Structure 1
Amino acid sequence: MEITAIESQHDQKQFSSKDFHQTFARPQFQKPAYLIHKNVENAGEHNQFSTERKHPVFFVDLPSKNVSMTIGGLLPGQLTNRHRHTYETVLYVLEGKGYTEIEDEKIEWEKGDAVYIPSWAWHRHQNLSNTESAKYIACENAPQLQNLGVALREEEGRDL
């Protein structure tokens, strides 16, 4: 008698929190449709997010279900709106000099620096140059929280 995967799943024990030590991961490799996004900035700005955030945003289109990466830019002298979100962000500065205000703390940054923005912290970014743009890579765990149904973003002045 042959047992199908669906039948064997129904026969498996249902675990509760007291059984945590009895569960064992059984990871399996599943190759996604693609593993590279070439020439990210040549794909163009993401219209909705670039307009909403008032600075250029380029999405890195890769099949990760847990982390996202974007390339963000700040125009000369630009100050973004204050906002917060339930996901963490790590910024890596590629070009320029500026600061990120996190709650009441001003964190100055320049090319080569990395900045951590905790979840649900009010923050905004300022380019300190009036002539040169600033550029950074932002890595976030937004897809993971979106897949769990708990990702939230608030924009001061729009949502409050």
Structure 2
Amino acid sequence: MTPAALQQRVMLLSQQAFGRPFDHQATFNARLKTTGGRYFTHSHHLEFNPKMAALPEFDGIIKHELVHYHLHLQHQGYRHRDRDFKQLLAAVGGARYAPKLAATTASKPKRLWRYQCEQGHVIIRQRRIQVDKYRCGQCHGTLRLLGEVPNS
């Protein structure tokens, strides 16, 4: 979806669902990660997550942000906790929450480091430490890095 198509879609949904025009700017913001969209109270502009544009629930996300927009301009309760917001959102069929996106990047497995003191105590840590600066917590002996713990 292009930015111009987004603007037209928002204007169309505003007129159809609310019977009011949308006179401000609607844009995509690729920095949005988990949220579907944002409404700016100072400028009345709307931002949307471009990853959600292909989802079938995108019209519900647009309606959700338009509820914020129209209620704020009418000086009514535009926050999620306000009764006006909840009633209008239910009336127009907007989405209450943004849908979860599939994880795009797999998290790296944790690296674990194994240390041993003079007395033979084994310490496993997620972060490397300076062995000349730190000591064993049990016997206060000097530490020696044994290496990385193999992932299983």
TM-score, normalised by the number of residues in structure 2:
0.24
| More strand, by proportion | 1
Q: Which has the larger radius of gyration?
A: 2
TM-score, normalised by the number of residues in structure 1:
0.24
| More helix, by proportion | 2
Greater RCO (CA < 8 Å, at least 6 residues apart): 1
